[in-house]
Amino acid sequence: MQRNRLINTALFAVIGTLYCWAVLTTIIQFSYLQFDALPLLLLCLEAVCAFLLLSYNKRVLLVGSVTIAALIVIWLLLGLRSGWTSAFFSDLAYILRMIISVDDYNPLYNYQMMLVIVILLSAFVCFSLRTTYNFYLLTGFGVAMFCITLNESKPVGLEFPVLCFVLLTLLLAKLYVRYLRKKKLSSLCLGKYLLRALPLSLAVVLLASAVSIPFSGVEPASILRYDTFQEFIDLGLFNGSKKTSQFHKGEVNLGGDLNPTDTPVLRVTADQPLYLTGSINDEYTGHSWKQSQSEFNTYPTDVPTVDTATAMWLYGQFFPSYMHVQTLDITYLYEDYALFAPSKTLSISGLGDNWVYINNLGEFETNKRISENKSYQISYLINDLISQGQVGQFSENLGALAPDLNPNSFAVPVFNEQSLVSEYNWNADRLAEYALDLKETYTALPNSVTQRTRDLASQISEEYSGTAAKATAIRDYLVNNYTYSLSPGPANRGQDFVDQFLFDTKKGYCTSFASAMAVLCRSVGIPARYVEGYAMPAQQEADGSYLVKTRNAHAWAEIYLDQYGWVKMEATPPYTYAEESGEKPQILLDEDEKNPEDLQQNLEDLGIDPLKSDPNASSGDEIGVESQSSGADPLPDLSQQQSTTAGAPVGLIVGSVLFCLAAAAVALRIRRRKLRELPDAPLDAELARASFEQILKLASFSGNAIQPGETPLAFCQRLSAKAGDIPLEEAARLYSAQQYGGAELTQEQVGLIRSACRRYDTLVRAQSKSIRYLFYKYLLHRI
């Protein structure tokens, strides 16, 4: 008995840990929570083992509970002097309020929130594994989390096959235990049957994953559209009582067609249209962009970031006429905690008691949600040449000034966004170390980037020297050789996204061009990153402000210039055209565009009016355009975006397999219940009719169907030659007398028909292939 308990505990620890990890990884996909896979697995293992050990037996539970309670009391008493106790309960209450979405998510409490959620989920799992309804409880919760993830078109990876593996193992073990209990076996060890179910479960999941590979391009259906779980609560459960932004933060999955919307999100008062940064991603995976690490710290508004301080240093050294300070005012038309800001932000004001946070990539956020119609002000440093796309000319001017720069003059306090600390002894040497760290981070590429992509980057830039010149050559190549389209089609999961765009698709929108720009720059050693935000429209409203809508969401690339910092490199053709103050490039527009109205509206937002095809153009879709100023490009609507991972089709197929097995189990139970004959159960006429019709179905299944015009008696006489001593003829006579003569059958006569049906069923099953028989009987219900 003790040995069985140990086996159960060990197997429950493995199954419970895998379940917690799969569900929590799924939750992370549609929430702001962030946690690496391996630490999360270890955290789940620790929590599950702790709960299982506590519930091992009554003695362990009593001793463990008393020990834990004593330690907590001692810790709280010690904390009364220093304020630990009040701070602990205050933080715990705040975390619980964030979990139930009463308060806004604060990224500084990410680890604490994950710890609380792991503890709660582990307790739920350990309880469920020891109850009769464990399979139904765990299945319902796990599938609900997965459905929310699919509903938001988030990528689904290894976590769903793991979830299916756990649930399938539990189902098989439960069915086997129930079968043995019917045999009235008293000593059962669920752990042994879990162990026996593991190989079969693993085989089914691996087979389903392998089968799903050819169907990896299947696009998951999306019924609803929410960017965050908070929006799901606000809009889905409370009927849209709050207006929230549709801007996407977090991992960006590449590919799919656009479906722009016109929902107003910001009202900006500024001197000119600008790019407002919302999210920054530094890691390219081959099918998406994400943040390799994202930690937040409070931002001292009186200390500029390294990026801004470097530009201010140049500004203070030479006071060039093209570099100056400007201000803007942003009014939110929704509720959110993300702060949108232009490049080289100097200060943020007007947020009241809201704290400003910054992460190690340079994103700004607040600790409280910015309410609707709330405004804040930003001062920033702007360079005219860079805002007009003349990065090469700016770099040449900077290079001409370089011999006169005094490296020792850079001795101002800055905020290092890489380490999230204020540095008061900054100098040129430390700036060089900072640039070296950035180069290591922002030139990394995955193995999915093909050699032909790297060769193309080298061919484009080999005639140029210097970061700016090489990057400008890459930008011009993309603008002049690739087509702008809002409907490029789905991405091929088995191929690197940038490789597919450069050599196969050759058309796309902002995410395609920005990704290609960043990857090609990294291929030749230029630090580059992927940025998303809003590009303000060209035209002002009647009151002089700029109305930013969801269709104005945009993606672009940034490169790092020594002695200046991050610089926008616009490679999406209409935007490059709009920002150029000199000679305008030709734009290739997709003549097979599925949504020409959306494309036209997008160009109008940029201040561009398409003219007739250029007679000197090489193709019919090369169009000359005129521009007024810069504008914006919508990001993909995630509800329509193509998933670029194999997770969704794997999930669909594995889920279908799991559903079929569950349905088979239910159908088997129902069928057995219908055919079960209790000692005191009456045998009526309906049972006789159903039993004889079952004989007809079985005969048809075995290839001996009743012929047109053939009577039941004649049919059974013909069938009796193959049925041995089964009384089919007598059953046919009784059935005919009942159905056509109106005779009332006795209990014995009904029992004879029923017995003939059961015996014939056994004969047909023995003569046919068991898999085909089970499929027709318990899934198709044809016999």
Average pLDDT rounded to a whole number, residues 447-466:
92
Determine which of 17-26, 34-43, 238-247 has the lowest per-residue pLDDT on average.
Answer: 238-247
Query: Tell me, what amino acid is at 96?
Result: L
List Cβ neighbours of 245 (8 Å cut-off, separation of 6 or more).
227, 265, 334, 335, 336, 338
Answer yes or no: is pLDDT of 488 > 80. yes
CA atoms within 13 A of residue 619's CA, in its CB half-sphere: 12
Q: Give the integer Cα–Cα distance in Å for 521 and 449.
A: 12
pLDDT for the residue numbered 503 = 93
Asked if residue 283 lies in contact with residue 275, where contact means CB atoms within 8 angstroms, the answer is no
Mean pLDDT (the chain) is 76
Confidence check: pLDDT of 106 > 80: no
Among 79-88, 100-109, 739-748, name the one with the lowest average pLDDT.
100-109
Dihedral sign for Cα atoms in the order 35, 40, 46, 50: positive
pLDDT tens by residue, 325-334: 889 999 998 8
Mean pLDDT, rounded, for 44-66 = 76
Neighbour tally for 178: CB within 10 Å: 11
pLDDT tier, 558 (very low <50, low <70, confident <90, very high otherwise): very high
Q: Calculate mean pLDDT across residues 727-749.
A: 87
Across residues 254-270, what is the average pLDDT?
Answer: 85
pLDDT of residue 557: 95
- Among 26-30, 247-251, 403-407, the range scoring the smallest mean pLDDT is 403-407
Asked if residues 260 and 598 have their Cβ atoms less than 8 Å apart, the reply is yes
Q: SS in 3 state form for 92-120?
A: HHHHHHHHCCCCCCCHHHHHHHHHHHHHH
- Report residue 37's pLDDT band, with 50, 70 and 90 as the boundaries: confident
SS3 529: strand
pLDDT of residue 570: 92
pLDDT band at 443 (very low <50, low <70, confident <90, very high): very high
How far apart are the two ends of the chain, measured CA to CA in Å? 44
Confidence of residue 28 (pLDDT cuts 50, 70, 90): confident
How many angstroms separate the CA atoms of 414 and 434, rounded? 12
473/662 Cα distance (integer angstroms): 59
Q: What is the pLDDT of residue 471?
A: 94
Mean pLDDT, residues 60-81: 73
Residue 193 has pLDDT above 80, yes or no: no
pLDDT for the residue numbered 4 = 65
What is the Cα–Cα distance from 412 to 55, expressed in whole angstroms? 59
Contacts of 314-321 spanning 24+ positions with Cβ under 8 A: 314/398, 314/401, 314/563, 314/564, 315/381, 317/401, 317/405, 317/406, 317/409, 318/401, 320/397
Residue 347: band (very low, low, confident or very high) from pLDDT cuts 50, 70, 90: confident
Strands of 309-436 (E only): list them: 323-332, 336-339, 345-349, 356-359, 364-370, 375-383, 414-416, 421-423
Phi, psi of 695, deg, nearest 5 = -60, -40
Rounded to an integer, the average pLDDT of 298-321 is 79
Tokens standing for residue 422: 């204020």
Q: Round to whole Å and give the CA distance between 49 and 38.
A: 17
